[in-house]
Amino acid sequence: MAAEGLFNRALSVRLRGPGCQERRLDVRVNIELLSISNPVHRKDLAVRLTNDADPFFLYNLVISEEDFQSLKSQQGLLVDFSAFPQKFIDLLQQCIHEQNKDIPRFLLQLVSSTSDLDHTPVSLNIVETNPFKHLTHLSLKFLPGNDAEIKKFLANCLKCLKEDKMILEEKLKKTEEDLTRQLSYTQQSLSEKSRELDKLKNEWTSYTAALTNKHTQELTNEKERTLQAQAQYQQQHEQQKKELESLHQKSIQQLQNRLSELEVINKDLTERRYKGDSTVRELKAKLSGVDDECQRAKQEVLSLRRENTTLDAECHEKEKLINQLQTRVAVLEQEIKDKDQLVVRTKEVLDATQEQKVILEENTEKKQSHIEKLETTIRSLSSELLKANEIIKKLQGDLKTLMSKLKLKNTVTIQQEKLLAEKEERLQKEQRELQETGQSLRMKEQEVCKLQEQLEATIQKLEESKQLLKTNENVITWLNKQLNEVQMTKKMDTPTSTHGGARTAISPHGMLDRPSFPSLGINHPFSPLYAFQKFPEQARNKNINPQCPVPKIQFNTQLSKMDQHSDVQTVTATTSHPANKENGENLGLESKYFKKKDDSIPLRGLSQNTLNSEYLKPYLPTKVQPLPTAAVTTASAYFPG
């Protein structure tokens, strides 16, 4: 007796009984085709219902060909015994597809005569639901298994489980051996990587130290370059500023000239416009007369055109008729020729079709024989496929149990991987800390460089202020000497007097002329007040004769830029007008003395030798700079009120 498995799956079945509510139950349906050769060769369909949770739940049904005939007549089936197992399986597959839906279309119902399944016969119904009623496609009665059948079923289950257990134990041993090998290999690789990591750390520290030294040197070099470039750019900027100012003034002058020209042109255009308006009016009057004549001419042209169109239409219709008649004649001639050719072709086609018909009849006979052979091979293949499906199902069950054991081993490997990941995270944290310390070092180096620059700038400013103080003190002493000499000349009432090689004189306006230095080779007058910087107030009253009461005068002096050949250029000075508060008189210079004189000679063309002479060295400043503030000194009563 050979058994061929067709279907083996767990299905959700609705259990119904008298006096109890409908409930769901998971039932495994096993369909086998039994082929019996003793004493007569016949095939039976065996259906078994079991429950995986309850091993004593067993219902059997065996349908022979004779039983199927009675079932077919009772339930009105339209299928033969050979096709019945497949149709039964198709109905079960539809129930599986619909079982997870809220309102399934196909249902499996297990109906028993009692409330509990107490070894009583049960009927399995396959029901289709529609809006009108429940249709039962198939109803099969199952008998409960007796003690011998249950024991046999349990023995088969035990045998299958033991075989599975043996296979799984062998697989487990193999996997354990593989995992132990992998573990030893991973431990070795971990130790090697930790050594490599230590080496990399040492290399990294040496590399960072070398980089910091290199960057500090590069930073100092670049700072020096930027300072030099800044000075050059400032000089270029000042030159460009002057050039742009001169260009701007020129462009303003050009625009003003252009404006005057445009105004003249505008006046001419307005005059022309008025003349044009008068001519336009005259032309409009003439235009109105010409328009009337034009409309009359248009009406005549329209009437002539209408006559022309009617004549053209008649000619066109006649030409069309002639062309149509000519085309008809040509078409008819061509049709006659075509029909003759068609007759010849149809005869040839008929002969060819008769030959093809004979060939096709021979081909059809060959193909029918080939189709019959293919059908036989398909039947044999389908039986082999069913056997293969059963083997695949058994293998799938084995795989599931193996997978559960593999999961346990995977958990162990995952824990080891987590430990490795934690060590890698620690390494990354240490590397980040190294980078952060390097960045903080760079920031501190930048701050130190900035502070050094500020120190250098303040030291330079201090030196410049010291030099300014020295020059201002020298100028004040020199001015006081000059004022004492002027006072002496005023008392003696002499037009001219010489003091130590220097010559001074009173101008016709009561102003003191500029002193000249013939002993030094300077023949033109030279004003010392125009050439020096601000004077501190502490040195105002040094070396002044206390017997001469003198009013105070404030001088605003400015020095222009020195030339590249160290030649002194033009110098300007302005004086303020302080009032004497005690006498109530205005003792300052009048406004006429601030005007530029044509007679005055500016200080030009002084050579380097005269400026560097021993006589002027203590009084000239070391650095020539602009003089923004006023120097307050004392003057004698030779200035007019």
Query: What is the predicted pLDDT for the residue at 494?
Result: 54
For 78-131, what is each residue's pLDDT tens digit?
889 989 999 999 999 989 888 888 788 888 888 887 777 777 888 888 888 888
- Rounded to whole angstroms, the Cα distance separating 557 from 573 reads 5
Instruction: Quickly state the pLDDT bin for 409 (edges 50, 70, 90).
Output: confident
Output 432 or 623, whichever has higher pLDDT: 432
- Rounded to whole angstroms, the Cα distance separating 533 from 479 reads 12
Query: What is the predicted pLDDT for the residue at 344?
Result: 84
Query: What is the predicted pLDDT for the residue at 628?
Result: 41
Q: In terms of Cα–Cα distance, which of 398, 471, 409 is closest to 621?
A: 471
- Per DSSP (E only), the strands in 83-150 are 106-112, 122-129, 134-144
The mean pLDDT of 215-242, rounded to a whole number, is 88
Over the range 75-103, which residues count as b (16 or more CB within 10 Å of their CB) and which as e?
eebeeebeebbeebeeebeebeebbeeee
Read off the amino acid at residue 137: H
Look at residue 393 and tell me whether its pLDDT is greater than 90.
Answer: no
The mean pLDDT of 37-50, rounded to a whole number, is 82
Output 588 or 232, whichever has higher pLDDT: 232
Look at residue 374 and tell me whether its pLDDT is greater than 50.
Answer: yes
Q: Contact at 8 Å (CB) between 536 and 473?
A: yes
- Token readout for 189 is 């690789």
For 531-563, what is each residue's pLDDT tens digit?
444 444 443 443 434 343 343 334 443 333 333
The mean pLDDT of 477-490, rounded to a whole number, is 89
Q: Partners of 439 in the beta sheet?
A: none
The mean pLDDT of 393-413, rounded to a whole number, is 84
The mean pLDDT of 132-140, rounded to a whole number, is 87
Look at residue 177 and tell me whether its pLDDT is greater than 80.
Answer: yes
Q: In terms of Cα–Cα distance, which of 499, 514, 512 is closest to 638?
A: 512
- Token readout for 508 is 């016709």
Taking the whole predicted model, whether its pTM rises above 0.85 is answered as no
State percent of the chain over pLDDT 90. 9
Query: What is the predicted pLDDT for the residue at 312?
Result: 83
Q: Contact at 8 Å (CB) between 56 and 48?
A: no
Q: Partners of 136 in the beta sheet?
A: 127
For 54-80, what is each residue's pLDDT tens digit?
888 888 888 988 889 999 899 888 889
What contacts 633, CB < 8 A, 6 or more positions away?
476, 479, 480, 483, 535, 540, 552, 553, 555
- Rounded to whole angstroms, the Cα distance separating 508 from 482 reads 20
For 195-211, what is each residue's pLDDT tens digit?
899 999 899 989 988 89
Output 251 or 39, whichever has higher pLDDT: 251
Q: Partners of 280 in the beta sheet?
A: none
- Rounded to whole angstroms, the Cα distance separating 145 from 47 reads 12
Query: What is the predicted pLDDT for the residue at 15?
Result: 84
Region of 521 (left: φ > 0; alpha: ψ -120 to 50; beta: rest) is left
Q: Contact at 8 Å (CB) between 44 and 34?
A: yes
For 244-285, what is each residue's pLDDT tens digit?
888 888 888 888 888 888 988 988 888 888 888 888 888 888
Q: Which residue has the tokens 């302005």?
A: 574
Region of 111 (left: φ > 0; alpha: ψ -120 to 50; beta: rest) is beta
CA distances from 98 to 13, 41, 82, 641 (A): 12, 39, 27, 127
Look at residue 609 and tell me whether its pLDDT is greater than 70.
Answer: no
Q: In terms of Cα–Cα distance, which of 612, 630, 534 is closest to 568?
A: 612
Query: What is the predicted pLDDT for the residue at 404?
Result: 81
Instruction: Quickly state the pLDDT bin for 353 (edges 50, 70, 90).
Output: confident
Look at residue 641 and tell me whether its pLDDT is greater than 90.
Answer: no
Query: What is the predicted pLDDT for the residue at 179?
Result: 93
Query: What is the predicted pLDDT for the residue at 1?
Result: 58
Instruction: Quickly state the pLDDT bin for 336 (edges 50, 70, 90).
Output: confident
Instruction: Quickly state the pLDDT bin for 290 (edges 50, 70, 90).
Output: confident
Look at residue 52 and tell me whether its pLDDT is greater than 60.
Answer: yes
Task: Please say whether the dihedral angle defined by the alpha carbons of residues 385, 390, 396 and 398, taken in this order, is positive or negative.
Answer: negative
Query: What is the predicted pLDDT for the residue at 493?
Result: 60
Output 608 or 441, whichever has higher pLDDT: 441
- Token readout for 111 is 């109906």
What contacts 37, CB < 8 A, 6 or more positions away?
1
Instruction: Quickly state the pLDDT bin for 167 (edges 50, 70, 90).
Output: very high
The mean pLDDT of 315-320, rounded to a whole number, is 84
CA angle 347, 363, 360 (to 5 degrees): 15
Output 624 or 442, whichever has higher pLDDT: 442
